[in-house]
Amino acid sequence: MDVGITLKVDGIQQRIAVDPRTTLLDALRERLGIYGPKKGCDHGQCGACTVLLDGMRANSCLALAVAHDGAEIITAEGLAEDGELHPMQRSFIEHDAFQCGYCTPGQIVSAVGMLAEAEAGWPSHVTRDLGAADVPLTDEEIRERMSGNLCRCGAYANIVPAIRETAAGAGPR
C-alpha cells in the first residue's frame, strides 16, 4: 500500500505516493525524474547518491523516502540558480575534476555540504585543533572530509584543487 509524502526538491514542492520501502534515491529518480543522484553501490559506500537533506549531506540510497516526509532536498540540479552554475560546479568544470562523470553530481553536492560543515566549525578526523573556530581546509582536510565520495576514474588530483579554490573564493552558498 503506497503512502503519500511531500518533498521539497530543488525548491519545488512535490507530492508523491511511494511504497514504504522506497529509498529516497529511488523516489527521486523513478518518481520525480531527477537523475543527478546516481545509484552506484546502493549500500552507502560510494557517495554517488549524495544529496543535501535538510541542509546536511546524506546518502539517499540509505534513506527511506517516507522517513523524510516534508524534507527539503537539494540535488546537483538544484545548486544552480537563475541559469548560473553554483561556484562549485564552475570550479569542477574549470579544473576538469571529472572523467566519466558518474560520481560528479554526488561529489559536487558533497563538496558544497562539506564546505558548510567546515564553515560551521565541525572538525574532521584529521583536524589538529578541535577547538578552533575556523578550520583551515588543507588538502588533507578536504581529502578526509570527502572520503565518503569515491571516484573510480581517480580524478582526485583535480577534485581537491576544485574544492580548495571554491573554499578560498566564493565559498558555500
| Residue 3 DSSP label | E
Helix (H, G, I), strand (E, B) or coil at 69: coil
Whether 82 is in a domain gets the answer no
pTM of the model: 0.93
Same domain, 92 and 164: yes
Domain with 59 in it: 3-75
Section 98-116 average pLDDT: 96
Q: How many CA atoms lie within 13 A of 165 on its CB side?
A: 16
pLDDT digits (tens, 9 = 90+) for 115-154: 999 999 899 999 988 887 788 899 999 999 999 999 999 9
Evaluate if residue 31 carries a pLDDT over 90.
yes
pLDDT digits (tens, 9 = 90+) for 47-65: 999 999 999 999 999 999 9
CATH number, domain containing residue 161: 1.10.150.120
